[in-house]
Amino acid sequence: MSRRSFLRWLLVAAASLIGLSAGFAKWFSKHAFVEQETAQAATSIPGTPSPELPSGDISTVQTAALGEPLLSYFVFSDLHISSLDSATSIKLKQALDDLKSFDSKVEAIFMTGDLTDTGTAQDFKVLRTILDSYKLPPYHANMGNHDYYSVWLNKNNAWDKDTFPNGKSDALSREQFNKFFGYKKPYNEVNLNGYTFLLLSQETYIQEKPEVGEGAWYSDEQLKWLTERLAASYDPARPIFVMIHQPLPAIGDDGGTHQLIRAKEFRRILKPYKNVFVLCGHRHMDFQNGTPHYVKETFHYFHNSSVGRPLNRNFQAETKTKSQGYYVQVYADKIVFRGREFSDRSFLQEAEWTIDLQPAKA
């Protein structure tokens, strides 16, 4: 079975795995976005504030006047490195070549899920080979749904739903990810130059919990950890960065497949804090296709594009060469986000924001 055929099958299988009706499965196969692994609300985010520039909150980037940043880093999402497809490896190398010759400081790289296409040992071996061939700043990551996909591949590394889980398990996927990065758990805290980064991870997939589909399930333990680390790390004068993979559903809702499932609890935990920045991946939306990439809630919410497969509004890889990510610069009173096109080493005017931080005593 080809990858494309398998993913089309998965549309219906996801419904049947959680006991849904045949009618819903038919609707699901027509409307869900598994083929390109995008969020259900990929082109709009109903129920959220307007992504247009809030008054007094965002201005056009003018980095020349800002001085030296206190911290600068890149955010890569949806690399989709595969032992079966060299195209995504080429794009990651493009991105890392760009960093190697980058004029400005790069102090870290964060990778927000779907590091691999199928989560196999072969995929991670390719990723390791690429990363080890560069002299890089510290890099950190969380898990996406694709990093659990080894359960769908048989001993010949071919897509095979009939032999699911093919001798694999979600536990093995977590173990493999943790071993690759030297983590004890798939969710972690990173501190850089006095700034806190909380990387949350999807903790299970359908081998253990069929009802999650392609959504991100966070356990009570992980959400308690998030609550405790926010309280312990919070300094009203300093921003906190929270990295997730799947996007949030509309405000007031819990998510389903392709979304953060326990979204109401996630938002409740973040609500008391100002200057929190949430960055997600999964949607793959090209920075230049007109879809919202920034939404202002009680926190600042940014959607990334994809290093491996940026998509147009119809979830197609319209331009095969594109490869994108965020360059983030932290200043004492503002954060600058700049969308980067790695294929031609340019910044994208459509993806430039400066967020003024709320003062500590406001």
Residues 263 and 186 in one domain: yes
Could you give the CA distance from residue 137 to residue 134 in angstroms, rounded to a whole number?
9
| Residue 115 falls inside a structural domain | yes
Residues 321 and 237 in one domain: yes
| Residue 45 falls inside a structural domain | no
Residues 6 and 126 in one domain: no
pLDDT at 317: 83
SS3 content of the chain, % helix, strand, coil (to 5): 30, 20, 50
| Residue 6 falls inside a structural domain | yes
CA angle 106, 342, 83 (to 5 degrees): 100
Residues 169 and 236 in one domain: yes
pLDDT at 237: 87
Residues 114 and 241 in one domain: yes
Could you give the CA distance from residue 83 to residue 92 in angstroms, rounded to a whole number?
13
Cβ neighbours around 171 below 10 Å, total: 11
Residues 146 and 23 in one domain: no
| Residue 37 falls inside a structural domain | no
pLDDT at 6: 55
Residues 185 and 81 in one domain: yes
Residues 19 and 66 in one domain: no
| Residue 99 falls inside a structural domain | yes
Residues 78 and 14 in one domain: no
Residues 137 and 11 in one domain: no
Which among 346, 327, 350 has a CA at the least distance from the CA of 69? 327
pLDDT at 65: 57
Residues 3 and 133 in one domain: no
Count of domains forming the chain: 2
pLDDT at 338: 98
Which among 349, 316, 338 has a CA at the least distance from the CA of 72? 338
- Residue 287 is part of a domain; what is its CATH number? 3.60.21.10
HSE (side-chain half, CA atoms, 13 Å) at 123: 26
| Residue 84 falls inside a structural domain | yes
| Residue 40 falls inside a structural domain | no
Q: What is the extent of the structural domain holding 10?
A: 1-32
Token match 């699901």: residue? Answer: 28
Side-by-side strand order, sheet with 139-142 = 58-59, 346-356, 334-341, 324-330, 71-76, 109-112, 139-142
Show the tokens assigned to 162: 């009939």
| Residue 222 falls inside a structural domain | yes
Residues 20 and 160 in one domain: no
Q: How does pLDDT run along the chain (362 residues), one tens digit per residue?
A: 555 555 555 544 443 333 332 332 332 333 333 334 443 433 334 333 333 333 233 333 444 456 899 999 999 999 999 999 899 999 999 999 999 999 899 999 999 999 999 999 999 999 999 999 999 999 999 999 999 999 999 999 899 999 999 999 999 999 999 999 999 999 999 999 999 999 999 999 999 999 999 999 999 999 999 999 999 999 988 999 999 999 999 999 999 999 999 999 999 999 999 999 999 999 999 999 999 999 999 999 999 999 999 999 988 887 789 999 999 999 999 999 999 999 999 999 999 999 999 987 75
For 104, counting Cβ atoms within 10 Å of its Cβ (0-12 exposed, 13-18 middle, 19+ buried), the class is exposed
Where is 330: in which H helix or E strand?
strand 324-330
Contact 304, 284 (CB under 8 A): no
